[in-house]
Structure 1
Amino acid sequence: MGLPPRFDREGEDKDWFKPVEDIEGQGCPGGHYRCGFVASLHKYRRAGVEQRTENLLLSRCQDRLVLEAIAYLEDEERHALNYFYECRDG
């Protein structure tokens, strides 16, 4: 995956079609949100952004890693929504 090809750099880079990230050394950029762990968290997500609905799986969960991951996810969703409102409302 990585960054899109830089067609404007054709002939200037050694291999202009491949992304510039170090895939072998650092892994796939963006792979963190497509990995199995993140997919396993989807069942714990609560619906809504401004008004969260209760999710019984999350309410009954004792795993601190899951709880912290969902809290982080919801916090980042709020940040993204606020940024969207700032851009939209100018």
Structure 2
Amino acid sequence: MSWHPDEAYDDAALQREEAAEVLTPEAVITRLKLAVTDAGSQAEFARRAGTSRSRVCEVLSGRRPPGDAILAALGARRAIVGRQA
């Protein structure tokens, strides 16, 4: 949800907000595995995503977190999530 500086939250504005799904690291890996399968290989997924096959392999093995190119190819993005007090 967006922050509206004038505190003008109306129903129409709230209906336009994009819904977000919070993914666990495990869910991102699962999505990556499916995307690699759909692409036919790690190399083909990497080519389409604009990254290297070795980076895809490192992410799948848990040695490195996914970078922006992999996240974008999965339809995801990095976010900062705060805890409620």
TM-score (norm 2): 0.25
Question: Rg larger in 1 or in 2?
Answer: 1
TM-score (norm 1): 0.25
